[in-house]
Structure 1
Amino acid sequence: MFDHRLISLLPDLASYIMVVNEGSFTAASKNLGVTPSALSKTITRLESALSVKLFERTTRKLVITQAGQKVYDQSVLMVNAAQQAIEVSQSDHTVPSGTLTVAAPEAFLNSVLQPFITPFLKQYPEIQLKVRALDGNIDLMKMGIDVAFKLTDKPDENLVMKNVGPTNLVLCASPDYIAQYGMPATPQDLTQHDCLYLAETARDNIWDFLKDDEFLTVKVTGRYAVNQSQLRLSGVKEGLGIGIFHDFVIKESLADGSAVQVLADWTIKSNYHGAIALQYAQTKYLPARMRVFIDYVMSVLPQRLSL
């Protein structure tokens, strides 16, 4: 049976979601248009009503409690259901409109997606598009993402997945570098070369290779490490060493001869190769703005990637 006490709790639960997502009362209060003290009182009122402690408060940060996490998870489902109710009420609208938030890895965004953003916005002038460059794991629900592009061999099984196309990793260097230092014949030869890598994690300079049934792991070194693909590509083209790139990043450089492929008969293994997956939450009612974006992407990007 419907509990009428829920009605008074709904705004507080929505405010609670904002605090968790933003990680602080100050940031959340700015988005909600209230003062931090007023928002703190809202959360205190919610804790009293639910008889649970939602946060462990310290002078430096908020830490969500175990009970708070459970409340958050259910509250997000509630807000998403409310959003779907809004979408259903607007389903008869003929013009797709509203805000669409899209996340994509920086390299894919720059090399593949960016040229299609302006044409899409011109075709659908009532849509406001927010694009975020995000690499690695993306929690769509927590981060408020509608659609995410992921470069992975293991798409999230809890999300709807559309395969935009395949992507592989390519090892390359400049012709001048190869002329001066020689072409590596095996992955082990890379230990004698300068290599450019991401330097985001402790394992970024450990590269895995596969050829038939042979699997090799090589720890590389180099004087230049950078986690931005275009900067890394510039370094490779300027002769600073050998680097790994997604095929869509290096394609034009290989075509014009400013870069050459290294160890072409070996496959580079990584969590970031396999498929370009377009993923979004399962829903019975797909908002029109999401539907037209997904249709647009699937109509233009596969051809772009196959060129």
Structure 2
Amino acid sequence: MSRLQDLEVFVQVVESGNFAKAAAQLQLNPSAVSRRISNLEDHLGVRLFNRTTRSLSLTEVGKRYFNRCLNILGDIEEAEQEARQHSDEPQGLLQVSCSTFFAYQVILSRLTEFLNQHPQVRLKLVLTDDVVDVVAEGVDVAIRIGELADSSLIARRLVSNRRIVCAAPAYLERHGIPMTPDDLAQHNCLVLSAYKTTLNQWRFKDGSGYREMSVQGNFEVNSGNALYKALLAGVGISRVATALVTCDLQSGRLIRLLEDYEDDTDGGIYAVFPSDRYLLPKVRVFVEFLVNTLSQQ
């Protein structure tokens, strides 16, 4: 028997409480189990069990060795499960957290295609503009826009992204076009309240570096999708993620403003998932779906 099998026999004896029950579970002779434990103790040079005619208990060394063996066998089982999962068809419940705006702009338009390609996946979208606790909420994938805070999450960059200032033609026809960031003081700027703060600090670049400006307007909302609808309707000027309004800019529904002063920081759009969960097939195919969809946009 291999060293790994020795560990399995040892753990089974501990969990069964005696050699006979362990032998039955392992489909071995009790004498073979006893011999394996004796050989293991000889190899280690320590006594793992205190034996009497009526009882069997672990020594102090045996207790520590048992805990380490549990970890080793657990890691092996998880590695085998991961390997099997990667060869399996994507399946099961896939819980995804993202903003309503991202869902409408990216996911919903191609949802039928994704589900038809992966009929054994059940997709549950959790739409919120707040940052959810991925681990506590049992989320498989969360979509994050902008810089990521340091965390234990694994992040997969989906696409480059910058925030730009834009407005609908109808608004600009009524109020004119701002030529510098300072001109925004004379305009109606739409504000998104999300992530437990109000995003009314807009960052610009000028000859001396970067500066932030506090903007104001008569419309504030905690939904990115509602802000987007108000922007298209010509309510005011807003600062939005480039990757999510590319089609609007190309069609002329939105006009890009203050390009010479744009903050060129690439915040990116990311898919994040817990680091203690290996990449299941359902997660892998969904991330690939996001990459393909965003690259086409």
Query: CA separation of 1:297/1:258 partners in 2, compared to 1, >3 Å: closer, same or farther?
Result: closer
Contact 1:191–1:218, Cα closer than 8 Å, also in 2 = no
1:186 corresponds to which residue?
180
2:199 corresponds to which residue?
204
Please give the secondary structure, in 2, of the residue aligned with 1:216.
strand
Query: Does the alignment pair 1:106 with 2:100?
Result: yes
Name the % identity.
26
1:288 corresponds to which residue?
281
Gaps of 5+ in 1: 5-79
* Aligned-pair CA distance for 1:85: 8.6
Contact 1:164–1:301, Cα closer than 8 Å, also in 2 = no
Alignment of 1:35-184 (within 5 A): 87=81, 91=85, 94-154=88-148, 156-184=150-178
Query: Does the alignment pair 1:229 with 2:231?
Result: no
Provide the TM-score with structure 1 as the length reference. Answer: 0.63
Query: CA separation of 1:244/1:89 partners in 2, compared to 1, >3 Å: closer, same or farther?
Result: closer
Once superposed, which parts of structure 1, at least 4 consecutive aligned residues long, lie more than 4 Å away? 1-4, 83-90
Please give the secondary structure, in 1, of the residue aligned with 2:132.
coil
* Aligned-pair CA distance for 1:142: 0.8
Please give the secondary structure, in 2, of the residue aligned with 1:233.
helix
1:63 corresponds to which residue?
none
Q: In the aligned structure 2, how far is the partner of 1:198 from the partner of 1:127?
A: 33
Query: 1:27-69: per-residue Cα shift (whole Å, max 9, x none)?
Result: xxxxxxxxxxxxxxxxxxxxxxxxxxxxxxxxxxxxxxxxxxx
Q: CA RMSD in A?
A: 3.3
* Aligned-pair CA distance for 1:182: 2.2
Contact 2:232–2:254, Cα closer than 8 Å, also in 1 = yes
Please give the secondary structure, in 2, of the residue aligned with 1:265.
helix
Contact 1:155–1:161, Cα closer than 8 Å, also in 2 = no
Please give the secondary structure, in 2, of the residue aligned with 1:279.
strand
Please give the secondary structure, in 2, of the residue aligned with 1:91.
helix
2:296 corresponds to which residue?
304
* Aligned-pair CA distance for 1:96: 2.6
Query: CA separation of 1:294/1:234 partners in 2, compared to 1, >3 Å: closer, same or farther?
Result: closer
* Aligned-pair CA distance for 1:275: 1.0
Amino acid at match of 1:147: V
Aligned length: 227
Q: In the aligned structure 2, how far is the partner of 1:265 from the partner of 1:177?
A: 21
Query: CA separation of 1:118/1:155 partners in 2, compared to 1, >3 Å: closer, same or farther?
Result: farther
Gaps of 5+ in 2: 1-9, 16-73
Contact 2:86–2:280, Cα closer than 8 Å, also in 1 = no
1:275 corresponds to which residue?
268
Which one has a bigger Cα radius of gyration?
2
* Aligned-pair CA distance for 1:166: 0.8
* Aligned-pair CA distance for 1:157: 4.8
Q: In the aligned structure 2, how far is the partner of 1:106 from the partner of 1:268?
A: 25
* Aligned-pair CA distance for 1:202: 5.5
Provide the TM-score with structure 2 as the length reference. Answer: 0.64
Q: In the aligned structure 2, how far is the partner of 1:212 from the partner of 1:106?
A: 37
* Aligned-pair CA distance for 1:86: 10
Query: CA separation of 1:173/1:290 partners in 2, compared to 1, >3 Å: closer, same or farther?
Result: closer
* Aligned-pair CA distance for 1:144: 0.4
Please give the secondary structure, in 2, of the residue aligned with 1:167.
coil
